[in-house]
Chains A and B, each alone.
Chain A
Amino acid sequence: MALLEVKNIEKHFGDTQVLRDISFSLTEGQALAIIGSSGSGKTTLLRCLNFLETPDSGTIAVRDKVIFDAADPTTQLEGEVREKRLHFGLVFQNFNLFPQYTALQNVTLALHLRDEGNKHREAIDDRGRELLEQMGLADRAGHYPHQLSGGQQQRVAIARALALKPDILCFDEPTSALDPELTGEVLKVIRGLAEQKTTMIIVTHEMAFARDVADEVIFMDEGVIVEQGPAREVIGNPREERTRQFLSRYSET
Chain B
Amino acid sequence: MEQFTTVIGALNVGFYQTLKLFFVTLLGSIPLGLVVSFGSMSRFAPLRWLTRTVVWVIRGTPLMLQLYIIFFIPGMVLPGGSPWPAGYSGRFLAASVAFIINYACYFSEIYRGGIQGVPAGQQEAGLVLGLTKRQIFFKVTLLQMVKRIVPPMSNEIITLVKDTSLATVISIQEIIWAGKAFLKSSHGYSGLMWPMFFTGVYFLAFSGVLTLLFDALEKKLDYFK
Interface pick from B18-26, B57-65, B130-138, B170-178: B130-138
Contact A88 B128 (CB under 8 A): yes
* Interface flag for B224 (CB, 8 Å): yes
Contact B130 A52 (CB under 8 A): no
Contact A99 B129 (CB under 8 A): no
* Interface flag for A94 (CB, 8 Å): yes
> Chain A at the B interface: mostly helix, strand, loop or mixed?
mixed
Contact B119 A96 (CB under 8 A): yes
* Interface flag for B81 (CB, 8 Å): no
State in angstroms the CA–CA spacing of A31 and B223 once bound together: 38
Contact B124 A110 (CB under 8 A): no
User: What A residues does B124 contact at CB under 8 A?
Assistant: 52, 92, 96
| Interface band, chain B | 20 to 34
Contact B130 A110 (CB under 8 A): yes
* Interface flag for B139 (CB, 8 Å): yes
Task: State the total of A-B contacts with C-beta under 8 angstroms.
Answer: 58
* Interface flag for A6 (CB, 8 Å): no
Contact A100 B129 (CB under 8 A): no
Closest to A101 in B: B224
User: What B residues does A178 contact at CB under 8 A?
Assistant: none
Contact A99 B130 (CB under 8 A): no
Interface pick from A78-86, A121-129, A195-203, A210-218: A78-86
Contact B135 A113 (CB under 8 A): yes
Question: Chain B, 122-162, contact with A by CB distance < 8 Å: what is the 0/1 string?
Answer: 10110111111001000110011001000000000000000
Which residue of A50, A52, A89, A100 is within 8 Å of B144 (Cβ)?
A100
Contact A110 B224 (CB under 8 A): no
Contact A92 B130 (CB under 8 A): no
* Interface flag for A98 (CB, 8 Å): yes
In chain B, positions 186-225 with a C-beta closer than 8 Å to chain A are 223-225
Q: Given that A92-B121, A146-B224 are known contacts, is A52 also in contact with B131, CB under 8 Å in the complex? A: no
Contact A89 B128 (CB under 8 A): yes
State in angstroms the CA–CA spacing of A88 and B147 once bound together: 31
State in angstroms the CA–CA spacing of A99 and B119 once bound together: 11
Contact A52 B224 (CB under 8 A): no
User: What B residues does A92 contact at CB under 8 A?
Assistant: 121, 124-125
User: What A residues does B223 contact at CB under 8 A?
Assistant: 100, 144
* Interface flag for A155 (CB, 8 Å): no
In chain A, positions 104-142 with a C-beta closer than 8 Å to chain B are 109-110, 113-114
State in angstroms the CA–CA spacing of A144 and B122 once bound together: 15
**B40 CB to closest chain A CB, in angstroms?**
25
* Interface flag for A182 (CB, 8 Å): no
Contact A85 B224 (CB under 8 A): no
In chain A, positions 16-59 with a C-beta closer than 8 Å to chain B are 50-52
For the complex of A and B, 10 pairs with smallest distance between CB atoms: A146-B225, A110-B129, A96-B121, A96-B125, A90-B128, A100-B224, A99-B224, A86-B130, A100-B143, A50-B128
Known pairs A100-B223, A110-B129; list 6 more (Cβ under 8 Å).
A52-B127, A92-B124, A99-B225, A100-B143, A110-B130, A145-B225
Where the two chains meet, the residues of A that have a C-beta atom closer than 8 Å to any C-beta of B are 50-52, 82-83, 85-86, 88-90, 92, 94, 96-100, 109-110, 113-114, 144-146, 160-161, 164
